[in-house]
Amino acid sequence: MHLGSIFSSRFLIGFLAILCLVGAATVAQAQQLWTDRYVSRAKCSGHAGAVGPERHSKAIQGHKWPHPRGSGIEFIDHNARGINAFAIGRGNTKAMRARLLNAAGTEAFTRLDFEGRGGSSPSFVSAIVVESVAYAVAQLRSSGAVSAGDLQAIDQWVQRLLRNSAKRAGSPDHKAAIATAHVLWGAAIADKRRFSKGYRQFQRVLRPLRSRPYFSAKVRVNNEVMHQVVHGAVVLRRNGVDLFTARNGKHTLHDAVAYHAQSVRSAGARKLRTSSGADDQARSIMRANGWGTHLAWIPLYLSHYPDAGAAGEVRSLNATLRRSDRTPYYGRQIGIHSDCLYGRY
């Protein structure tokens, strides 16, 4: 082999090794979730207020409307009120701390109830509960309102929820939710090891982009994946890991967001299904809030990429939706009121 070729090969290997080390160091330093930089006070005020301890069910079921008393879905919604209140300076840290410790101490939502075939998954809802708890804990930590002992008790509870979230996790949006929950929780408690675990899971979620600019050919299913992927990628970016611009084979996550925004605009208000099953109800995703069928990932993306990446396509989608729906973006499937925490864009 030619000496120049040997040198080039060794240089390339060394260069790649350095890149890997730099990437690993970046992930290892990631410790931040909560910031008020993107908060829109006007969009927070309609769904904000202190919510203290409540009685929660030990069993967790899939999504239902209206929200059953003591359910995981109710917990997410009530938690969002407390998180929003904190974001605009009206939060009650004592009430939030007591709320989380009560849920942890009573082992809330630690028993999965699948209720039979079809319908929303309780293990998926478990992941979304973790995402919600992550923001609440991050806010408490930022104000010094939670002790090391409190964090240990809450973390033990969250670890049970995370283990449960992995059960019957076959769909792409479910796998994305698990990865995002790990990323958010690791950032919330400044745990580098757990954050890195979520990062590795997230990289696996992005593998479909190696060959195509979408996660599912079905627009509604792709939208459900996009909820989680945009959320997790935004938190990763804020901690120094920009997966939006990183190329996965042929495509970047920016490409996937642009493609999806175009697809949703093309679908318009048409009612779409996730499967061909008789029990699958067709719904429109051209909505600002809801459970699975909503576009509440839009402020998450635009807050971090107001003018770059796929911003043009996302702003066009936002304008299309706003002609028929002016309500704030609030997707409970994201775990937060996104137009409150990320509505400044």
Report the distance separating Cα 275 and Cα 289, nearest Å.
22
* Residue 237, in any domain of the structure: yes
Length in residues, the chain:
345
Domain count, the chain: 1
Q: What is the pLDDT along the chain (345 residues), one digit of tens a residue?
A: 443 443 344 434 443 333 343 344 445 454 689 999 999 999 998 999 988 899 999 999 999 888 899 999 999 999 999 999 999 999 999 999 999 999 999 999 999 999 866 568 999 999 999 999 999 999 999 999 999 999 999 999 999 999 999 999 999 999 999 999 999 999 999 999 999 999 999 999 999 999 999 999 999 999 999 999 999 999 999 999 999 999 989 899 999 999 999 999 999 999 998 864 445 689 999 999 999 899 999 999 999 999 999 999 999 999 999 999 999 999 999 999 999 999 999
Report the distance separating Cα 160 and Cα 126, nearest Å.
9
* Residue 18, in any domain of the structure: no
* Residue 6, in any domain of the structure: no
Res 292: pLDDT = 86
* Residue 112, in any domain of the structure: yes
The DSSP H or E segment spanning 331 is strand 330-331
* Residue 5, in any domain of the structure: no
Res 165: pLDDT = 98
Q: Could you tell me the residue range of the domain that residue 201 belongs to? A: 39-341
Task: Say if CB 50 and CB 95 are below 8 A apart.
Answer: yes
* Residue 226, in any domain of the structure: yes
Query: Coil, strand or helix: which one is 120?
Result: coil
Predicted TM-score (pTM) of this structure? 0.90
* Residue 23, in any domain of the structure: no
What CATH number did the domain enclosing 311 receive? 1.50.10.100
Residue 242 CA: distances (Å) to CA of 150, 203, 234? 32, 12, 8
* Residue 216, in any domain of the structure: yes
